[in-house]
Chain A
Amino acid sequence: MAKQTFTTGQVLTAAQMTSLQQTAMGGGSTTAKTTSYVLTAADAGTVVQMNAAGATTITVNTALFAAGDSVQIQNIGAGVCTVTAGTATVSTAGSLALTQYEGGTLYFNSTGAALFFDWVQAASASGGMTVISTGTLSSTGVTFSSISGYNNLELHVTGYNLGGGGRLFIRLNGDTGTNYTGGYLRFRDGTASIATGAGSPGQTAQIEVDGGTTPDSGATNSAIIEFPAYATTTGTKLVSALAYDLATYKIPSLNFYSYNGTIGATTSITIVASGGTFSAGTYTLYGVK
């Protein structure tokens, strides 16, 4: 229940007592938010629950809350919700950025100074996979940035189709130089073909699932693309992919490329439509600890 100012002789209703009990148990009345929100005084003692697909903020300003007030903040949306200091200060030993299903309590030490106690959830154990991002492919592709924090990355691209022809390329660090070398082993209706050498036109790691004279036209393809040890700061980087075509031709392929451009951590990964645009498909990027 939101913070009340009770008066002498006031009679509490059963509903008020039930709500108070709920608040005392660590819950309380919940206000759903779908866009970035600035806390108001009426939020004291309640739960503010964010549910948005994109990134949002919850801003904390001064002169609204009294010392001892608290607000519970939860994020149930896919977009990261960040508790942001507006005119008040917000201190925490944890993180103010709440990923999906994370939350915490904002406790006011004074009217202008809040502490945020985030409910730290168990991190993925070694070998555990975490969904970093998921979405729908469109237009010319998608770039993933700020990807640090894992040992390996695994990208699942499912049911993609390139209207107008073209193939799926992968670029690292936005590098379009001639820094990719590799090839593929592909079976087209049981007939194997092997191609090696620099990625042609030299600027990409190509995920080779189509083999027809009309690249990808009408085909629905999927690929699981791996980026082992992508964050190491020495040595070349590997891109390997197991890809397959679900159209008339059954074309499984194993693709492997090394990237020897920037000898440093891979900081961004781009899915590129080499021609045409993505008319279908979804992606999910996993981090592996």
Chain B
Amino acid sequence: MDKITEVNCATGEVTERDLTVDEIAQRKIDTDYEIARAKDIAKAAAAKETLLAKLGITADEANLLLS
């Protein structure tokens, strides 16, 4: 079970508790987003490599064209 730490800054009390049902659901949303984001980044990088190969230029040369 995932846990979260809670700090009461007025009393200094530090407690660790299990995530609530709502927090678990939100954590799934966050995690799914991170997984999708990683896939998008990988996909974009692969597409860039494919295009550079098709054009027969390097990434530095592509940057030079855009500068």
Contact = CB atoms under 8 A, between A and B. Distances in A.
A54 B4 CA distance: 16
A223 B31 CA distance: 21
Interface residues of A, number: 41
Interface string B4-40: 1111111111101001000100110111011101100
A78 B13 CA distance: 10
A146 interface: yes
B47 interface: no
A79 B4 contact: no
B29 A203 contact: yes
Nearest to A78: B12
B5 A139 contact: yes
B8 A146 contact: yes
A103 B20 CA distance: 38
A68 interface: no
A146 B9 contact: yes
A54 B7 contact: no
Given A139-B3, A140-B19, A212-B41, A145 B8 contact: yes
A275 B14 contact: no
A132 B9 CA distance: 6
A138 interface: yes
B13 A215 contact: no
Interface in B34-53: 34-35, 37-38, 41-42, 45
B16 A215 contact: no
Contact of B38 (A132, A133, A143, A215): A215
A274 B42 CA distance: 19
Contacts of A166: 30-31, 34
Contact of B5 (A132, A138, A169): A138
Q: Which of A135, A138, A145 has the most CB of B within 10 A?
A: A145
15 contacts: A53-B14, A80-B11, A80-B12, A80-B13, A97-B10, A132-B9, A133-B12, A133-B14, A135-B14, A140-B2, A140-B3, A142-B4, A144-B7, A277-B2, A285-B7
Closest A-B pairs by Cβ, 3 of them: A80-B12, A146-B10, A55-B13
